[in-house]
Amino acid sequence: MIKKAVIATGVLALSAMAAATLTFAQTATVAPTTSITTVAPTTEASAPTGAPATGRAN
Amino acid sequence: MKNKLLIVIITLGVGAGIGLGFMFSRTHNPSDRAMPASEGILLSTPQPSIAPGIPIAIVIPKINLHASVESVGMDSKGRMDVPKNANDTAWYSPGYKPGMSGSAVIDGHLDRVTGAPAVFWNLKFLSAGDDIIVSENNGLVYTFAVNRIMRYPYDSFPIKEVFGATKSPMLNLITCNGVWDKNSKNYSDRLVVYSKLISQK
């Protein structure tokens, strides 16, 4: 009777470890939640709509 | 007695299995893992060796010009604004900065209400190859060489060409030219001196 109990306990323990290992294997493949945000550089500066009034300064 | 022993053994076995599994999962949780060095480099902000600066002075040896550079934006009509002081020049700060790829623009008055010369009165005497030196408030000094000088009617001023993107660092100087119109209080033309960066110290 005790032998059966020991075997059953061993099987249960191994099952628990296998389940935990399986869980780890699944979570280990999940991409990290840390994301890198990149901002596109400004390629065109804002331009005025007309030439400056550079005559007859006050 | 046997039943009690059986319960104790089963409890210990299951507990040990769950405990080991839990420990294994905790120590290998992806969110707890150390970040690789490469990711750390990507996330860190590069530290420039010299602080970003703005132009504060311009020197044009050919015409013996030494002037301060103000920073301006647009006036109420959307045109590039002009320096407050007739002895100063003005850098268009919403645009490109001297030394960076793109067309940086500095303007200056041609004359004063009295008709006396202002800071860019002699700009028309520049020619290809002449130096234009711009200093920033962080100590950097840029030297540009004149490429060409163009004269445009005020109404057909090429905004994109003068203020637009370029592969190389350019500096374009603008002042008035042509005939003064008393009614519109405006000169008929604009003179643009195009120059290209040749050195940086």
Under 8 Å between Cβ of B12 and A9: yes
Q: Domain limits at B25?
A: 2-43
Same domain, yes or no, for B29 and B98?
A: no
Same domain, yes or no, for B64 and B162?
A: yes
Which parts of chain B have pLDDT scores under 50? Answer: 20-45
Under 8 Å between Cβ of B136 and A29: no
Looking at the complex, does the CB of residue A47 fall below 8 Å from at least one CB of chain B?
Answer: yes
R_g over Cα of chain A: 35
Contact between B81 and A34 using a beta-carbon 8 Å cutoff: no
**Does the model's pTM come out above 0.80?**
no
Residue B141 in any domain: the answer is yes
Domain count within chain B? 2
- Per-residue model confidence (pLDDT) at position B2: 56
User: Domain with B103 in it: what CATH number?
Assistant: 2.40.260.10
Q: Are strands B131-136 and B169-181 parallel, antiparallel or unpaired?
A: unpaired
DSSP annotation string for B73-137: -B-TTSBBP--SSTT-EEEETTSBPTTSSEEEEEEE-SBBTTS-B-TTTTGGG--TT-EEEEEET
A15, A49, A55: residue with CB nearest B78: A49
- Per-residue model confidence (pLDDT) at position A25: 53
Across the range A16-37, mean pLDDT stands at 53
Contact between B28 and A32 using a beta-carbon 8 Å cutoff: no
**pLDDT tens-digit map of B84-108:** 999 999 999 999 999 999 999 999 9
Strand partners, B162: none
Same domain, yes or no, for B99 and B166?
A: yes
Give the DSSP H/E element, type plus range, for residue B160: helix B159-163
| A31/A6: higher pLDDT | A6
Same domain, yes or no, for B37 and B94?
A: no
**Confidence class of residue A58 from pLDDT cuts 50, 70 and 90?**
confident
- Per-residue model confidence (pLDDT) at position A5: 63
B 135-174 residues inside an 8 A Cβ radius of A? 152, 154, 157, 159-160, 163-165, 174
Same domain, yes or no, for B22 and B67?
A: no
Same domain, yes or no, for B71 and B31?
A: no
Residue B77 in any domain: the answer is yes
Same domain, yes or no, for B12 and B89?
A: no
Residue B49 in any domain: the answer is no
Residue B70 in any domain: the answer is yes
Question: Would the ipTM clear 0.90, i.e. be above it?
Answer: no
Backbone angles phi, psi at A46, to 5 degrees: -75, 135
d(CA B25, CA B101): 52
